[in-house]
Amino acid sequence: MNADAQREAVYGAPPEMLEVRDDLTPMLSQYADLCAEHDDAVVLFQVGDFYEAFCGAAEAVARTCEVTLTQREDSTGTWPMAGIPIDNAAGYLERLLDAGYRVALAEQVEDAEEASGLVDRAVTQLITPGTVVDEELLDAGRATYLGAVARGGGDVESRDSDAEDDADTYGLAVVDVSTGECLVTGADRALALEELERLAPAELVVGPDCDLPDLSFDPMETPFEPGAFDADAARETLSAYAPRPDAVVESDAELRAVGAALAYAEYAQGDSTLEYVTRVTRFDPREFLQLDATAIRSLELFESRSARAGSTLFSVLDETACALGRRRLEAWLRRPLVDRDEIEARLDAVDALCDGALARADLREHLSSVYDLERLVARVSRERADARDLRSLKTTLDRVPKVREALAGTGSDLLADLRDSLDELEDVRDLVGDAIVSDPPQEITEGGVIADGFDAELDDIRGTAEAGREWVSNLEAREQERTGIDSLEVGYNQVHGYYIEVTNPNLDRVPDDYRRRQTLKNSERFYTPELKEREDEILRASDRADALEYDLFCEVRADVATESARIQAVADALADLDVLRTLADVAVANDYARPEFHAAGPTDEHGGIHIDGGRHPVVERAQDEFVPNPADLPRGSVALVTGPNMSGKSTYMRQVALGCVLAQVGSFVPAASARLPVLDRVFTRIGASDDIAGGQSTFMREMSELTEILHNATGDSLVLLDEVGRGTSTADGLAIARAATEFLHDEVGATTLFATHYHDLTDAADDREGVFNLHFTAARRDGEVTFLHSVADGPSSSSYGVEVAQLAGVPASVVARARDLVDETDPESANDTEGDGVAAANGEVAEAAEDGTLAAYVDGLENGHRESESPNRATATTATAEPTPELEAVAEALREADLADTTPLEALNLLSDLKGKLE
């Protein structure tokens, strides 16, 4: 990538400086050293109020940030230079990050005025996509993770023992440097990768020997010392965060991953332990409903696939009152539960809040004035919080008793637990309340921060300064009286300090002890030894006060930092509460119903998904009228959904899945009622023609995704297949669709919804009890089609393709001619017209289809993985239609193919072989 090439000249010490290394001025020499030490980032070098970059880096900064490229000249040369103002650096830093750069801030670490000679500078912070902490660079509603992946020998039992996979385990850890959240998990490679996609860290450090495929998101991949992935080094790192490191993780790979993630986070934050990472949480992906990246995308949980911007499940649900809640809602949606008790506990809480309109409104009000406690605490621990941050902390803590009060009348165990865990933190609140003035300035070094009465010494010093000022303010009257000069004035200016001003006509009356300070046009300014003394006293006192205030502030901040864990626990509870009240608000506003789950224990065929009056939570909000539809899907059944384009198939399937996901999040669902199973995974695959975002080998991807489902789905999974098989010719597509349907039904037993334009597929319902047809209807009125959007039993009778063409504005004469052509064909094969160009695209197979041998074609396939079934069926059917040797060969090849165990590439090759045989 040329960005990398560009970076060559941008990172590290500038070569042109190295050529005159020994002659460089001390400052540039320091710059070159820091660049050499931090050669994985653009070093921004503080010079007064600016961050400067030189040479190649200057050019990159100038270009990226659109600032002027200037020059610095000295005896050794002329150096290109570009600077960004420190005061509003955030916007520029963001541009650099967006352009793919990493940034190291080399700040002045001693007071420029106190330094003798060169000011000491050090890299205090590394700014990268995964390690940003500046509020302005962060998205309030989303966690920004830095991730580490490591590979290790396996202690974790392999999930999929009958797959021919290796015993490799992968560890995955993420750290949110802005909040201190640290998660670690481990699994086999496939599952770990899925989890990685789900967490989608902004930046990734990859351990030795890890084999990562192309990811569906785009993290910055950061090279980091492989040593950090060493088990011993990792254990050492982790021990600063967990007293017994080995008790936190369950495998070597997990240990390596979390050790490396923390080590890198420490490195980025200036090589110190991150005090605010108070908990390292290990989870097992299997303890949650698994939604892989494809499912998250196609269900549009967080990102919309269509032009309707912002229409995602998250946007419909996001009635959160604070940033804590918003991030938590996202986390819950990404990881719905599978533990019945936990789900019911959330549902009970939502239920209770639905009933308590008053409590809900109160909670909303109080939570909306809650600051981002997690990030506040992290700033406090990092010693980056200012006095305003501490006041924000107090404002937030002041809300806690009110939140508790609001919860008093609500009956649910979870709400009661959350209420109990709301520590009012009176000590912290009082400390900040007593120490910090109520409206402190942004600067913490210039006084005005610490409240009166907090520290006796400070009060004393302030008293001295105050007395001095008082003395000065009375001086004017005293001197007027002493000298008899009524026009005498006492004043103050920055340069000369206090003075006594006497106009020229009165100069003869000036007493002996007046010393001249300054001569103006019409007057003279004087001071007296006593005034000078007082002035020094005042200055000394206020300098001392400022210094003492700063020390006191740091002490208070450090005291607060020691309570990080307690504060984080409160943040945690507030976040949960905000989500629960949000779910209740949404349920009430949109008329959702509480889902019921089938009783625990082994589920039989009576399990399954039963929804009355179900709606699509996002689509129903986007349009005036939405037609509710029921869903009755016995456990392990396959529903084939047919109907014209735009009739509502995709919407229907997704609303079923979204209902299940919402229920397992602990939310009510958009339906009149719902009885649901607890699912282990939801798979959704959208066929190529429906995949707007597609582009590269879509059919290939479709097939590899299908393979993944066939391998990984279980009887507890829900599978949505939307127009799968469309990326290839009709006959091939149909064959694959049919084979996949049968496999899902016979072998996997996953509850499946399959929207298809292959009307021939609907025959699959004839010979399998668990396969049934649903269709969407349209009404013809005066030759026009209106979609009813309502689901009915049985297969769709016609494709309505021509009418849809008419709706789309195809000229009337073309529509009329098409209608004639449809009428000429027999009604059975008219069904195929929705497929893409049968005859043209696939001449011989299509002909075969017409003379009835397609059935043979499919039957052969069917028997391919159902060898136990009577072989007579295939022969019986083929007997009626004299198979050619070519067809025989094709059927044989298909019979031998085990689709469940075929890679996409193999599938493509197979298809190409088959075509070859027919040609």
Binder of ligand ADP out of 12, 80, 259, 643 (CB under 6 A) = 643
Candidates 297, 429, 581, 649; binder of ligand ADP (CB under 6 A) is 649
Please indicate if the annotation marks 356 as binding a ligand. no
Task: For residue 650, say whether it is annotated as part of any ligand binding site.
Answer: yes
For residue 147, the cross-strand partners are 174, 204
Cα angle at 171 between 169 and 173, to 5 degrees?
170
Give, in order, the Cα–Cα distances in Å from 475 to each of 470, 496, 499.
9, 17, 10
Cβ atoms of residues 199 and 191 within 8 Å:
no
Q: Could you tell me the smallest distance in angstroms from the CB atom of residue 620 to ligand ADP?
A: 8
Pick between residue 180 and residue 725 the one whose CB is nearest to Mg ion.
Answer: 725
Query: Between β-strands 717-722 and 629-633, what pairing exists: parallel, antiparallel or unpaired?
Result: unpaired
Select the residue interacting with ligand ADP from 68, 78, 161, 623 (CB under 6 A).
Answer: 623
In the complex, minimum distance from the CB of residue 182 to ligand ADP, in angstroms, rounded to a whole number = 41
Site string for ligand ADP, 565-604 (x = CB under 6 A): ----------------------------------------
> Phi, psi (5° rounding) for residue 750?
-80, 145
Stretch that binds ligand ADP, among 9-17, 230-238, 324-332, 624-632 (CB under 6 A): 624-632
Question: Segment near Mg ion (CB under 5 A), from 130-138, 173-181, 649-657, 907-915?
Answer: 649-657
Residue 754 interacts with ligand ADP (CB under 6 A): yes or no: no
Q: How many CA atoms lie within 13 A of 576 on its CB side?
A: 19
Bridging pattern class, strands 50-54 and 42-47: antiparallel
**501 in Cβ contact with 480 (< 8 Å):** no
Q: Closest separation between CB of residue 760 and ligand ADP, Å?
A: 18
Residue 756 touching Mg ion (CB under 5 A): no
SS3 591: coil
Q: Please, which residue, 269 or 650, has the CB nearer to Mg ion?
A: 650
Look at residue 60 and give its three-state secondary structure. helix
Q: Total residues contacting Mg ion (rule CB under 5 A)?
A: 1
Residue 306, Cβ neighbours under 10 Å: how many?
A: 10
Round to whole Å and give the CA distance between 83 and 89: 10
Residue placing its CB nearer to Mg ion in the complex, 179 or 645: 645
Q: Whose Cβ is closer to ligand ADP: residue 261's or residue 718's?
A: 718
Kindly state whether residue 645 participates in binding ligand ADP, applying the rule CB under 6 A: yes
Residue 523 has which token pair? 């007057």
User: Nearest approach, Cβ of 648 to ligand ADP (angstroms)?
Assistant: 3
Q: Which is nearer to ligand ADP, 568 or 647 (CB)?
A: 647
Q: 650, 667, 741, 796: which one contacts ligand ADP (CB under 6 A)?
A: 650
- Asked if 642 is part of the footprint of Mg ion (rule: CB under 5 A), the reply reads no
Residue 651: which of Mg ion, ligand ADP, none does it interact with, CB under 5 to 8 A by kind?
A: ligand ADP
Is 653 marked as binding a ligand? no
> What span, in angstroms and rounded, lies between the C-alpha atoms of 824 and 843?
20
d(CA 862, CA 710): 15
Write out 103-121 in H/E/C secondary structure.
EEEEEECCCCCCCCCCCCE
Is 411 annotated as ligand-binding? no
- Letter string b/e over residues 855-889, b meaning 16 or more CB atoms within 10 A of that residue's CB: bbbbbbbbbbbeeeeeeebbeebbeeeebeeebeb
Q: How far is the CB of 619 from ligand ADP (least distance, A)?
A: 5
**Least Cβ distance, residue 619 to Mg ion (angstroms):** 12
298 binds ligand ADP, rule: CB under 6 A: no
Q: How many residues does the chain have?
A: 919
What is the closest distance, in whole angstroms, from the C-beta atom of residue 633 to ligand ADP in the complex? Answer: 17
Q: Which helix (H) or strand (E) holds 68?
A: none
Among 233, 437, 569, 646, binds ligand ADP (CB under 6 A): 646
Q: Which does 523 bind (CB under 5 to 8 A by kind): ligand ADP, Mg ion, none?
A: none
Residue with Cβ nearer ligand ADP (207 or 643): 643
| Footprint (CB under 6 A) of ligand ADP, residues 781-820 | 789
Query: Is residue 649 part of an annotated ligand binding site?
Result: yes
Question: Cα(23)–Cα(489) distance, rounded to whole angstroms?
Answer: 57
6 vs 650, which CB is nearer to ligand ADP?
A: 650
Tokens 């541009």, located at residue: 95
Q: What H or E segment, with its residue span, contains residue 833? A: none
Rule CB under 5 A: say whether 650 interacts with Mg ion: yes
Distance in Å, CB of 686 to ligand ADP, minimum: 10
Task: Using the structure block, give the residue that is written with the tokens 């506003």.
Answer: 589
Tell me whether residue 410 or residue 756 sits nearer to ligand ADP (CB atom).
Answer: 756
Q: Which does 725 bind (CB under 5 to 8 A by kind): Mg ion, ligand ADP, none?
A: none
Whether residue 648 is annotated as binding a ligand: the answer is yes
CA 707/CA 901 separation, integer angstroms: 8
Task: Name the residue among 178, 185, 203, 199 with its Cα closest to residue 334.
Answer: 199
Does position 626 interact with ligand ADP (CB under 6 A)? The reply is yes
643 is annotated as contributing to ligand binding: yes
* Rounded-to-5 percentages of helix, strand, coil across the chain: 50, 15, 35
Q: How far is CA 908 from the centre of its chain?
A: 35
If the CB atoms of residues 285 and 670 are measured against ligand ADP, the closer one turns out to be 670
Closest residue to Mg ion in the complex (CB): 650
For Mg ion, the closer CB: 344 or 834: 834
- Three-state SS at 691: coil
Interface with ligand ADP (CB under 6 A), residue from 105, 619, 688, 765: 619
- Select from ligand ADP, Mg ion, none the partner in contact with residue 833, using the beta carbon and a kind-dependent cut-off of 5 to 8 Å: none
SS3 call for 634: coil
CB of 651 to Mg ion, least distance (A): 8
3-state secondary structure of 779: strand
The pair of structure tokens assigned to 580 is 């629960």
Which residues make up each annotated binding site for ATP? Answer: 643-650
Q: Interface with Mg ion by CB under 5 A: which residues?
A: 650
Q: Interface with ligand ADP by CB under 6 A: which residues?
A: 619, 623, 626-627, 629, 643, 645-651, 789
Which residues make up each annotated binding site? Answer: 643-650
